[in-house]
Amino acid sequence: MKYPLDFQSTFEDTMRFWIERYIRFKLTSLSNRQVKDEEQLAAILKSLTIGTKNIDELSKLVRSARNIGLIGVNTYYKPLEKLYRFLDNLGLASMKEIDEELIVDFLSSSTSGLSDATKKNYRIAMINFFAYIDKNNDDKHIYGIELKNWGGLRGKAGQKLPAYLSEEEIKRFLDAIDSYPFRTDVAARNRALIKLIIYTGIRVSEATHLKLKDLLPQEDVYLIKITGKGNKARVVMIKKEKIDHDLQEWLAMRQCEEGLLFCNKKGTPLTQAYISRIVEKILLSCGIRKEKNGAHMLRHTFATLLYNKSKDLVLVQEALGHASLDTSRIYTHFDKERLYKAASIMDKID
């Protein structure tokens, strides 16, 4: 259904209306595999359709959606909430006053100090949101927001090579996992979860939402069923000797809801931010400092090592659950043998 661009009586109400419609659209397209309360989701969608009284009420609805399992919604909503507050202070009279220059002003002032990855998320949120309005406004108004050159970000063309650990750093990190002074009640859980990530390369979100039934013991290994992005399933493997001591200690005290393998003291999933903080503390404890010290770097470390040892890009794609081989191809940039061949191509001519 299409609506007039300036649908409400004030700019603030109209802007909030479009955010509500866009978030409702995104909630119905996100994976609902982790949704715990279908009735609450239906109530949230109904509230978004009816409309909210103010931005705080809308933010509360989004938090509720995230809490019931739609964890990706913040990626779309947070930049728009900040945009709303930014535009609200400008005293605009119409949605037609918004243009790309104004969006660049917002991004420049609101994302300073954020990581490049977060800036990229903001850029994508802006492009997608205004493309949604372009498609659904009855006035046929086209924003055409592209942000091609903002902040030097051009999608993949502006992508940085990921940070990763060298083999020597991996050894130090693994030793530090076992020696780090965790609290007794979470030590086994944290060690098992972090080892699982670095030994298999699974995403942090995949690790935190694993179910106990997904862990399949074999002779000397565990097969682990992973449900990745887009509900795509794959199987990874970890040798029991790498994780079993910590895992069995954790299983003896584990009290998780919904059959979760790992959980906090409330029985609910651990957050990605919590895991990243733990990883950073362990890295700093053994003197390792990278541009990005978070838990996702462990996935890059696994992928880089896997490619350098196997030279098999398809194996990297399958192990990491990449939808496209192009996504895996970035790890060929760390292949020193290939780079040395390129560096030596002029030797005979010299």
Per-residue pLDDT tens listing for the chain (350 residues): 899 999 788 899 999 999 999 999 998 887 666 677 888 889 999 999 999 999 999 999 999 988 888 778 888 999 999 999 999 888 888 898 898 888 988 998 888 888 888 888 899 999 999 999 999 999 899 999 988 777 645 444 445 567 899 999 999 999 999 999 999 999 999 999 999 999 999 988 899 999 999 999 999 999 999 987 667 789 999 999 999 999 999 999 999 998 999 999 999 999 888 898 899 999 999 999 887 777 888 999 999 999 888 888 888 888 888 877 777 777 777 676 776 776 676 777 75
Angle separating helix axes 73-88 and 11-29, nearest 10 degrees: 170
Query: Pick from 212, 181, 175: which is nearest to 278 by CA?
Result: 181
pLDDT of 230 reads 62
Q: What is the DSSP string of 77-114?
A: HHHHHHHHHHHHTTT-S-GGG--HHHHHHHHHHHSTTS
Angstrom CA distances, 250 to 115, 243, 265, stand at 34, 11, 12
123 is catalytic: no
Active-site residue, selected from the candidate residues 203, 209, 242, 300: 203
Contact 285, 194 (CB under 8 A): no
pTM exceeds 0.75: no
Active-site residue, selected from the candidate residues 24, 123, 296, 300: 296
pLDDT of 344 reads 75
341 Cβ contact list (under 8 Å, min separation 6)? none
CA 35/CA 121 separation, integer angstroms: 23
300 is catalytic: no
Domain boundaries in the chain? 11-152, 167-340
277 is catalytic: no
pLDDT of 115 reads 81
227 Cβ contact list (under 8 Å, min separation 6)? 33, 206, 209, 233
Dihedral over alpha carbons 190, 193, 199, 201 (to 10 degrees): -130
322 is catalytic: yes
CA 120/CA 181 separation, integer angstroms: 36
Contact 147, 100 (CB under 8 A): yes
Contact 84, 11 (CB under 8 A): no
Residue 226 β-bridge partners? 234
Q: Residue 328: which H helix or E strand, with range?
A: helix 325-328
296 is catalytic: yes
Q: What's the distance, CA 209 to chain centroid? A: 13
Active-site residue, selected from the candidate residues 242, 299, 300, 307: 299
Active-site residue, selected from the candidate residues 22, 77, 143, 331: 331
Q: CATH homologous superfamily for 167-340? A: Intergrase catalytic core (1.10.443.10)
203 is catalytic: yes
pLDDT of 156 reads 46
CA 276/CA 284 separation, integer angstroms: 12
Active-site residue, selected from the candidate residues 63, 160, 229, 341: 229
Query: Pick from 165, 175, 204, 169: which is nearest to 303 by CA?
Result: 165
Output phi, psi for 221, to 5 deg: -140, 165
pLDDT of 331 reads 79
